Structure 1
Amino acid sequence: MGSDLIRLSALLDDAKCFDLIRQHRWPDGVRCASCDSGQVVRNGWDDARHTRQRWLCKDCKARFDDLTGTVLAGHHQPLRVWVLCLYFMGLNLSNRQIAQELDLNEGDVQAMTGQLRQGLVERQPDVRLDGEVEADEVYVVAGHKGNPAAVQKKAGRDAGGG
């Protein structure tokens, strides 16, 4: 690696990442991580990550921070590294490429991407389907690798008793 290399992680700071997390997590105002009450007040900053806001719920007296109850909680990597990892995943980079970009080993990136994927899947709303569904013969043919002749040949053989 040359000395003129600029890493994206050096261009982001954790304060902006925590602001981003707050905006996306609580678009209508901070809610308690335990009881979902909106009656919360600021309660200082995290000792290790001075840009992570602590909160206190006036209703249930629970204490929580910006990451409590999220897939991002309880990790040693700075939040900006997690945000960049998620960004690179969105660009469809491999774990090896992400590891190179973030200057991490592949095993750590494998664990991070796995946790991010699992966390995102768990947070997806249940899919509810309704209404009409239409299918045509193209769908059926596509299921046979686009070889309609083989499908008709097999159908003719089955109809002939074997």
Structure 2
Amino acid sequence: MTTLDRCLYLMGLNLSHRQIAHELGLNEDDAQNMTRSLRQGVVEASITPPLAGTVEIDEVYLVAGHKGQSDLVKKNLGLAADDV
């Protein structure tokens, strides 16, 4: 297994550059450059499928609220006090 293969495997494990450098016996700058190069190669090799016809896109906004200030949440949502 080559160093690039091992690096790609470690990237798949979501390891940091520091951890990858340690595992491969490289310095952190070299590991960062290697992972950047591999990511760029994956992006360049990927093909974006063309969209055709009707495409549905959903968008959701979640409001966690303001602790102890429910009137602010109602105001931000544009709700009357009676709506909630």
| TM-score for both structures, normalised by structure 1 | 0.39
Q: 2:29 aligns with which of 102, 107, 110?
A: 107
Match of 1:93 in 2: 15
Once superposed, what is the RMSD of the aligned Cα atoms?
2.5
SS at match of 1:85: helix
Give the total of aligned pairs: 73
The structure with the largest strand share of the pair is 1
CA distance in 2, matches of 1:132, 1:107: 42
Gaps in structure 2 of 5+ consecutive residues: none
Does 2:61 align with 1:147? no
Q: What is the one-letter code of the residue matched to 1:85?
A: C
- Bigger CA radius of gyration: 1
Q: Percent identity?
A: 44
**2:50 aligned with 1:132, yes or no?**
no
Q: Displacement, 1:151?
A: 4.1
Gaps of 5+ in 1: 1-11, 13-79, 158-162
The aligned runs of 1:69-84 (5 Å cut-off) are: 80-84=2-6
Aligned equivalents of 1:99, 1:131: Cα separation in 2: 43
